[in-house]
Structure 1
Amino acid sequence: MENLIFAFNAVAPSFSIVLLGFLLKRMGILTDDFIAKGNALCFKVLFPLLVFFNLYDAVRIDFTYIKIILFCIGVILVSVIILTPLVPKFVKERRKVGVMIQCMYRGNFMLYGLPFSKSLGGEPSVALATSIMAATLPILNTLGVFVYSAFADMEEGPSAKKACINALKNPIIWGVIFGLVFYFLKLPMPGFLHTAGNDVAKIATPLAFLFLGGQFELRSARRNLKELAIGLTTKLVILPIIFLWVAVQVFQIVGIDLIPVFIFLSAPTAITNYQMAIQFDADYELAGDFLIYSMVFSAFTLFFFIYALRAMGLI
């Protein structure tokens, strides 16, 4: 019961902000124009700042965890390689394909990784979670740009050149690049600038959830029922079970080392998927529904995995 309560408490705050955004839109406080400009602010300024300070302020990025880091990178690459040709066979609308692929393989490790790791495994798990985040975040954001840009053009086929250009235009990528440069070179930052930047970065996630709630409509969930059923089952159940089996049986990852890996595999979809869907004119309604319902159902799936892994003595 304690684990269930913890999982619920991890999801409930974000879901409450989404609900508030939904209510504010119905009350006329959030307008369509305000939401559109707010989403642009989140994608172009706030999320790059959030990524930058997450890396810049990392206490320790320890790449001695090389086996586990390589496993997580392998999970990303294998998932994209499998899902990219597979999803278009079941989803015919091009604007939905990139959303489905991105939402199925990318979880919100940036939001869930550190608190869950600290609660379940203490500081050693937090150190490993930080290292995984630093190693995978650039790959996740770069691949996300490539996946979305590959399916963004409705008239032309995927273009590697266009994908590369879009990758370099993506503000989040530059947040990752500058964050790693400042971290590894130990570049100093004036105290006032660090405080101001951190304060601004902290509003990125709640503000994005608020705007998401303002755009949420129940009829879109009904319209996307098939895609949501396939995507949520794949993201929250099928892929975690497969990759957890590989982690334990093949890579022998157990104990406190398995905790951040488990969260990396099982966390609900990342809010940046929704922001990128807007940026690339993909089906942002599907991305928003996927984000909301993955948060809701992850409270139950995370509890199931925590209970099962503990019962088997793996964590």
Structure 2
Amino acid sequence: MFEIVLQTISITAPVFAMLFLGVVLKRLRWIDDDFIGTASALVFRGTMPTLLFLGIVNADMSQAFKPGLIIFFVLATVISFFVAWGWAIFRCPEIERGIYTQGAFRGNNGIVGLALATSMYGDYGLAVGSVLAGVVIFCYNILSVLVLAIYSPGAKTDPWTLCKNILTNPLIIGVVSAVPFAYWQIQLPQWLLSSAEYFAHMSLPLALICIGGTLSLASMRQSSDVAIGSSLMKLVWLPILATVSAWLCGYRDADLAVLFLYFGCPTAASSYVMARAINANHELAAAIVVITTIGAVVSINLGLLVLKMLGWI
């Protein structure tokens, strides 16, 4: 378990470093609100869609395509979304329900989850994790666009507008455009892939620097109750519900561990990027990302310890 703790810290430490760097750069006035707005727009419209595209194109579908596992993961994700949304309706101010819901169900599977799965189970964890991450990204973005559009100030919520928001979302476009290349194994020129990787690799550090630049003690205090509630839903209640459900469905060992890691991941940095892109409460979104990233170091390791003690993995 000590090795798992070190693995978790080694994966999350760079995230903390980028967040702290954003705070320092804002204090030094090397970046300002205009830069944060422009950089966030670049991540949302360009670098993040490219990262999602490459993640699906490079996934080894033949090695770890497990229809049953994929179907369970998608269904559990959708159910988690509606559980978080239903709780938000009863517990949160209306204007913050979309941010609460997205923060509670949208995990950082492509970075933290995939890295932990690979560390624990090698090539098998990498293959299974890549397929699950590629599939669920599509669900994350559709559901996030839906709930954020409903609760954004002045947003139109008629069916046509919602469909338009979903279909024109850059993150969804990145995922959908990658499917034909992955399915038919269409090879892209190596120079193009290398250039795309350079561009895509800016996504996480740039998004995290923007989050750090957005954070302030005042905004953290103002959003503390909602942020903590969403973080507990993300790190504790939904992972317990999903993992126990997976065990009851017969999943054990590596498959169950990967599912737990993915459901227990901290909130994805892209949730902040999307919130800022639609002028929602991005400060609340940033606070949730920070709290869950810190809390995941404890919750993931405790969860793995409990699963091992129970003999489930």
TM-score higher than 0.5 here? yes
**Deviation at 1:314?**
1.8
Matched with 1:212 is 211
Matched with 2:98 is 98
TM-score, length-normalised on structure 2?
Answer: 0.95
Match among 304, 307, 310 for residue 305 of structure 2: 307
Q: Which moved more, 1:61-70 or 1:113-122?
A: 61-70
**1:214 is aligned with what amino acid?**
G
Matched with 2:226 is 227
Matched with 2:267 is 269
Using the alignment, how far apart are the partners of 1:273 and 1:168 within structure 2? Answer: 18
Matched with 2:54 is 53
Question: Mapping of 1:235-250 within 5 angstroms?
Answer: 235-248=234-247, 250=248
Rate the CA distance shift 1:125–1:63 in 2: closer, same or farther, 3 A.
closer
**1:145 is aligned with what amino acid?**
V
Is the contact between residue 61 and residue 134 of structure 1 (CA under 8 Å) also seen in structure 2? no
Rate the CA distance shift 1:174–1:62 in 2: closer, same or farther, 3 A.
farther
Match among 285, 288, 294 for residue 286 of structure 2: 288
Q: CA deviation digits over 1:3-36, x for unaligned, max 9?
A: 2222111111111111011101100101111111
Question: Mapping of 1:185-204 within 5 angstroms?
Answer: 185-204=184-203
**Deviation at 1:255?**
0.7
Matched with 2:249 is 251
**2:83 is aligned with what amino acid?**
I
Q: CA deviation digits over 1:194-230, x for unaligned, max 9?
A: 1111111111111111111111111111111210221
- What runs of 5+ residues in structure 2 fail to find an aligned partner? none
Question: Mapping of 1:36-75 within 5 angstroms?
Answer: 36-60=37-61, 64-75=65-76
**Deviation at 1:43?**
0.4
Using the alignment, how far apart are the partners of 2:127 and 2:236 within structure 1? Answer: 26
Is the contact between residue 65 and residue 128 of structure 2 (CA under 8 Å) also seen in structure 1? no
Using the alignment, how far apart are the partners of 1:256 and 1:63 within structure 2? Answer: 12
**Deviation at 1:277?**
0.5
Using the alignment, how far apart are the partners of 1:153 and 1:85 within structure 2? Answer: 20
**1:207 is aligned with what amino acid?**
L
Confirm whether residue 147 of structure 1 aligns to residue 158 of structure 2: no
**Deviation at 1:272?**
1.0
Q: CA deviation digits over 1:18-59, x for unaligned, max 9?
A: 101110110010111111111110100000000001111113
Using the alignment, how far apart are the partners of 1:113 and 1:4 within structure 2? Answer: 14
Using the alignment, how far apart are the partners of 2:18 and 2:150 within structure 1? Answer: 32
Question: Mapping of 1:108-187 within 5 angstroms?
Answer: 108-154=108-154, 158-187=157-186
Using the alignment, how far apart are the partners of 2:63 and 2:158 within structure 1? Answer: 36
Using the alignment, how far apart are the partners of 1:201 and 1:24 within structure 2? Answer: 22
Is the contact between residue 150 and residue 159 of structure 1 (CA under 8 Å) also seen in structure 2? no
**1:244 is aligned with what amino acid?**
T
TM-score, length-normalised on structure 1?
Answer: 0.95
Q: CA deviation digits over 1:94-138, x for unaligned, max 9?
A: 1x1111001101110011222111111221222111121122111
Is the contact between residue 278 and residue 284 of structure 1 (CA under 8 Å) also seen in structure 2? yes
Using the alignment, how far apart are the partners of 1:285 and 1:78 within structure 2? Answer: 26
**Deviation at 1:63?**
6.6
Equivalent residue of 1:5, what SS?
helix
Rate the CA distance shift 1:60–1:240 in 2: closer, same or farther, 3 A.
same
Rate the CA distance shift 1:205–1:155 in 2: closer, same or farther, 3 A.
closer
**Deviation at 1:83?**
2.8
Q: Name the count of aligned residue pairs.
A: 312
What is the percent sequence identity of the aligned residues? 26
Is the contact between residue 4 and residue 301 of structure 2 (CA under 8 Å) also seen in structure 1? yes
